[in-house]
Structure 1
Amino acid sequence: MKELLETMITPLIKYPEYLNIDVKEEPDKAVYHVIVHQDDVGRVIGKNGRVAKSIRTVVYAANRDKTRKVYVDIM
C-alpha cells in the first residue's frame, strides 16, 4: 500500500525528496500519514479536496484485507 501511495503522489509534487509515508498499524485499522513539503500540500489535496479524495478512493479499493480499515492522512 505504501508503494501505491508513493506511485500516485510522487508525480504530483515538486519536492519528492520530502515525501515520507509513515504507517501506524493497529488490529482493526491502518493509518498512512503522508508527509510532504509545505509547498506541495495544496497539490496533494487539490481544489476542494478532489485529489485527496481520489487518492483515498484508490487506496480503499486496493485494500484486500476487508477486516481492517485503511485511512490516509495528508500532512
Structure 2
Amino acid sequence: MEHFIEYVAKWMVDDPDAVRVERVDNGDHVAIQLNVHEDDMGRIIGREGRLAMAMRTLLSVAGHARAVDTSLDIR
C-alpha cells in the first residue's frame, strides 16, 4: 500500500527525491504518512483536495481488500 502512495506522489511532484512514506501499524489500523517538500503540497492536495481524496479512497479500497482500516496523513 505504501509503495503505491509513494509511486503516485513521486509522479505528481517536482521534487520526487523529497517524497518520504512511512507506514505505522496499530493492530487492524494502518496509517500511511506522506511527507513531501512544502512547495509540492499544493500538487499533492489538488484543487479542493480532490487528489488527496482520491489517494485516500484508493488506499481505503486496498485496505478493505486486506481487512485493514487505513488512513493517509499528508505532511
Q: TM-score, normalised to structure 2's length?
A: 0.92
Equivalent AA in structure 1 for residue 11 of structure 2? P
What is the distance in 1 between the residues matched to 2:53 and 2:11? Answer: 17
Structure 1 residue runs of 4 or more that deviate by more than 6 Å after TM superposition: none
1:58 equivalenced with 2:58 (yes/no): yes
Task: Give the C-alpha shift of residue 8 in structure 1.
Answer: 1.2
1:7 equivalenced with 2:1 (yes/no): no
The equivalent residue for 1:23 is 23
Residue-by-residue CA offset, 1:13-49 (whole Å, 9 max, x unaligned): 0000010001110012010010000100110001110
Q: How many residues align?
A: 74
Q: Note the aligned Cα RMSD (angstroms).
A: 0.9
What is the distance in 1 between the residues matched to 2:33 and 2:23? Answer: 6
Q: List alignment gaps of at least 5 residues for structure 1.
A: none
Percent identity between the two aligned chains: 27
What is the distance in 1 between the residues matched to 2:33 and 2:7? Answer: 15
What is the distance in 2 between the residues matched to 1:51 and 1:57? Answer: 10
Other structure's SS at 1:21 match: strand
